[in-house]
Amino acid sequence: MAIKRLVKTNELKFNSIRNMVEEHRRSLYLRYDKQIDTLFILWVSPGTGTIVHFIDNHVALLYKPNNKEVVGVQIEDFEYSFIKEYVEVQKAWRLSDACKEVDDLGDLSIVFEKQKTQAAEEVGTIADHLLNRRDREAALV
């Protein structure tokens, strides 16, 4: 089934993500829905209305409809197939290695925040790679 895009990928804006990375002051919302095996990473409140824009079979950019600003990433079939393709995401996602020094809930909270950021950075790197690959492929056509 082909997915009809509402806008072209090159019309989307990435200022929010760039600012978040540079300033490190926005909250990062990470939510995994096991029932539908989907990971959501947002740089805005989860209640913010967004439109899904797929850039490959698994990865979608989430953008605001009013200004086309990308504010998150959505990964479909996350545990079933996505992390199996990307070792660095798999390492960041699994807490088994990161939790060796966890003695209490406070330690777990610190580890979670660190790993949440690490997983988001790895997913962001992959999304950036996919976007650049699409641009190169489009230039060849």
In a domain, 121, yes or no: yes
pLDDT for residue 140: 41
In a domain, 90, yes or no: yes
Chain position carrying tokens 């976007």: 131
In a domain, 76, yes or no: yes
pLDDT digits (tens, 9 = 90+) for 50-76: 999 998 888 899 999 999 898 888 999
> What's the whole-model pTM score?
0.71
In a domain, 51, yes or no: yes
Domain count, the chain: 1
Residue percentage of the chain with pLDDT more than 70: 73
> What residue numbers bound the domain in which 82 lies?
9-140
- Least Cα distance to 9 among 68, 73, 49, 58 occurs for 68
Q: How many helices (H) and strands (E) does the chain have?
A: 4, 5
In a domain, 83, yes or no: yes
Q: How far apart are CA 137 and CA 9, in angstroms?
A: 13
